[in-house]
Copies of this chain bind each other. A is one copy, B any other.
Amino acid sequence: MRSTIYRIIEPSKKKNGASHYFDIFIIILILLNVLAIILESEESLRTIYRPVFRQFEIFSVIVFSIEYLLRVWTATEKVKYSRPIIGRLRFMTTPIALIDLFAILPFYLPFIGIDLRFLRIMRLFRVFRILKMARYSKAFDLIQKVLKEKKEELVITLGLISIILVIISTLMYYVERDAQPEHFSSISKSIWWGIVTLTTVGYGDIYPITRLGKFLGGIITLMSVGLIALPSGIIASGYTEQILERKRKRN
């Protein structure tokens, strides 16, 4: 029986059967929970539909709790968690199981006097479960593979961007602090300018106003076009590489 339940609650490759419908049910319930969290944050809706939100929360937590308990119980079906107690404990400390636990815990804690409603946001992270369910999709596999293969390049690019960010932000701090003491009052504030500029977001809450600051900022911004092009180029070549690899295997 445990093995049957295990097969049902595990994400399924097949497009039908109990396991497939269970997957769809959980995905829809997660998405409805996300929607409920978004809608509940609206003052007007929260006031009127408080009981509906509460009942839906109780229903969801019960389903998620049962699902969590079943997952822990059936964890021993997997070879690496096969030992009854230590195996289940090791399963419970995996990131995905911890997210599932944190998604239900905030509901129970108030009963024992602890208020961690703040942790309700953990329920949001359950949406990553959807990605896990979609892991058999060829396209998602490819994206993951490309990002994994290019991880080192992307991290180094991020490092390079960070180094340049700190240097130009410090320069801009020294240039602008006298003209705009309220905006460039510290290097960390200047780094906020740097991030907003390098990523080309450009909110407009903070920008250089002195002649030298604009000159420096202009050159930096022009250069940043090349910098920001790096990740795009890396990912594009990663895809091309995967495609060539696939072609080579087929021949």
Q: Given A43-B185, A202-B204 in contact, is the A125-B167 Cβ separation under 8 Å?
A: yes
Interface residues on A, range: 35 or more
**Known: A41-B188, A197-B201, A243-B241. Contact between A127 and B166, CB under 8 A?**
yes
Which of B34, B127, B143, B234 is in CB contact (< 8 Å) with A239? Answer: B234
Q: Which chain B residues lie closer than 8 Å to A240 at the CB level? A: 236-237, 240-241, 243
Copies of this chain, how many? 4
Residue of B nearest to A246 (CB): B241
* Contact present for A191 and B243 (CB under 8 Å): no
A93 within 8 A of B: no
> Is residue A180 within 8 Å, beta carbon to beta carbon, of the partner chain?
no
Determine whether A247 belongs to the interface, using a CB cutoff of 8 Å to chain B: yes
Q: List 22 A-B contacts (CB under 8 A).
A: A38-B166, A41-B173, A43-B185, A124-B167, A128-B163, A130-B159, A130-B163, A131-B163, A143-B153, A199-B221, A200-B201, A202-B203, A203-B203, A205-B207, A226-B231, A230-B235, A233-B239, A236-B237, A237-B242, A241-B243, A244-B244, A244-B247
